[in-house]
A and B are shown apart, each in its own frame.
Chain A
Amino acid sequence: MVREVAESCVDSLLTEMVASYCNRFYANKPELAARRIEAIGYQVGHQLSERYTMERPRFSDHLEAIKFICKDFWTELFKKQIDNLKTNHRGTFVLQDNKFPWLERISIDPSTDKVNSAEDDSLTTAENKAASTISMHLYYPCGIIRGALSNLGITCAVTADISNLPACSFVVRVKA
């Protein structure tokens, strides 16, 4: 008996979680909020990887495990696969998703009607603020990836890169 939940519920829950941690629990300490959100993602990734590796044969090396994350794990979470995987064969992997579902609904406000040299500062600070808010939302999926990989025996650090939305890259650095 499998009980299902609407995807919009999960989206709303995540948005609210990030908002709570950033604005209420750790109001002026974004680093602590980020760490907490990433820790939540870590535990979720840990448990999910346990569930999704159930029927599969074991992985022979790091690349197999990363490919599992890109294909099966991502499909279970987002019903799509990672669009592009790059590696430097020395422990760094870049997982690129061209249309990350959890960022789909976030509007990117261009503010192009105020291009004026006197207001350049406010434009860049507005951009920075938007970028930092968006990066708060990405700590959770980074934690999920880190938790899943650590359960498969790979200690790593995961960061997200949002230079061009809605595409989003996750950089995984394996600790040798």
Chain B
Amino acid sequence: MIVCVAVVGHQNNPLYIQSFTEADDALKLHHIVHCSLDVVDERVNNPKKSGPLLNETFLGLLYPIENFKVYGYLTNTKVKFILVTTDLDVKDADVRNFFRRFHAAYVDAVSNPFHVPGKKITSRTFAERVSTIVKSFGLTSAV
């Protein structure tokens, strides 16, 4: 179950944070997302030889914390997408698929002429698309 998704800009400024649990733990999720930024920077600056390719956008599992898993994705424009989930058996392909669709939604939101780059994304359409993507996460694996 996805707990939270976040978009963080290239100066580590939050552009969009949305949690999908009923519990009121927004602060904890903010903190988790913030910590994961350091891991993203570390992954990008010190590539492990056995790890993913240097220039890949999908960064994979960043780190497990408590009962959450945190996945990261870094675009060419240094915008980071963070996904926090409580699922235990998450498939790599599912997460990649999720990030691909999330990236498409993000690009559409940023192409809005009324959106100011660097400010938070306030588009309702983007929020709806994100919740659709989140709801269908993991369900396609049944095919």
Q: Please give the residue numbers on chain A whose beta carbons come within 8 Å of chain B beta carbons, in ascending order.
A: 43, 46-47, 49-51, 53-60, 151-153
Does B104 lie at the interface of the complex (its beta carbon under 8 Å from any beta carbon of A)? yes
Known: A53-B76, A151-B77, A152-B77. A58 touches B110 (CB 8 A): no
Give the residues in chain A near B111, CB-CB below 8 Å. 47, 50-51
Give the residues in chain A near B54, CB-CB below 8 Å. 58, 60
C-alpha spacing A60/B47, complex, angstroms: 12
Give the residues in chain A near B56, CB-CB below 8 Å. 57-58
Give the residues in chain B near A151, CB-CB below 8 Å. 77
14 contacts between A and B (CB under 8 A): A43-B117, A46-B117, A47-B111, A50-B77, A50-B110, A50-B111, A53-B75, A53-B76, A53-B77, A54-B107, A57-B56, A57-B57, A58-B56, A58-B76
Does B78 lie at the interface of the complex (its beta carbon under 8 Å from any beta carbon of A)? yes
Known: A47-B110, A51-B111. A58 touches B117 (CB 8 A): no
Query: Per a CB cutoff under 8 Å, which of A54, A57, A58, A59 touches B103?
Result: A54
Give the residues in chain A near B117, CB-CB below 8 Å. 43, 46
Q: Please give the residue numbers on chain B whose beta carbons come within 8 Å of chain A beta carbons, in ascending order.
A: 10, 53-57, 74-78, 100, 103-104, 107, 110-111, 113, 117
6 smallest CB-CB distances across A and B, nearest first, come from A53-B76, A57-B55, A58-B55, A151-B77, A47-B111, A51-B107
Beta-carbon contact of A153 and B10 below 8 Å: yes
Give the residues in chain A near B75, CB-CB below 8 Å. 50, 53-54
